[in-house]
Copies of this chain bind each other. A is one copy, B any other.
């Protein structure tokens, strides 16, 4: 596995510039370069990218991902910090999911609402007959 930046960009569906930006920010530790300066993404670099993508999806900022990557480089000293970070991430994700589910609920109400309205050809009747669940969530 000795990928060039273009190949990796394609695999991860990231812009080449984004990969260079991540490298500049220090998110890809020990990224090799050949004699003429061309980046070679080995297995370690690729698994860093996998972690980066996942942490990004979990809502972490680039800066905090960088902190994590640095901890990984520092070795066993930082195991506790890393565990705590993942515990916090888990919490964050769980509440994000809950919030999205409640948002989905509102959206589903709206789908129902507008399905009826489209059938009727007007919003009038639906407006009067459908009780709105919004207030349960938001007020």
A: residues with CB less than 8 A from B are 11, 47, 50-51, 53-54, 57-58, 75-76, 79-80, 82-83, 86-87, 89-90, 93-94, 96-97, 99-101, 103-104, 106-108, 110-111, 114-115, 117-118, 121-123, 134, 137-139
Beyond A79-B118, A79-B122, A97-B101: 11 further Cβ-contacts under 8 Å?
Answer: A11-B139, A47-B134, A54-B103, A54-B134, A54-B137, A57-B99, A80-B118, A86-B107, A90-B107, A90-B108, A94-B104
Copies of this chain present in the complex amount to 2
What B residues does A11 contact at CB under 8 A? 139
Do A96 and B90 have beta carbons less than 8 Å apart?
A: no
- For the complex, would chain A's binding face be called helix, strand, loop or mixed by DSSP majority? helix
Min CB distance, A80 to chain B, in Å? 6
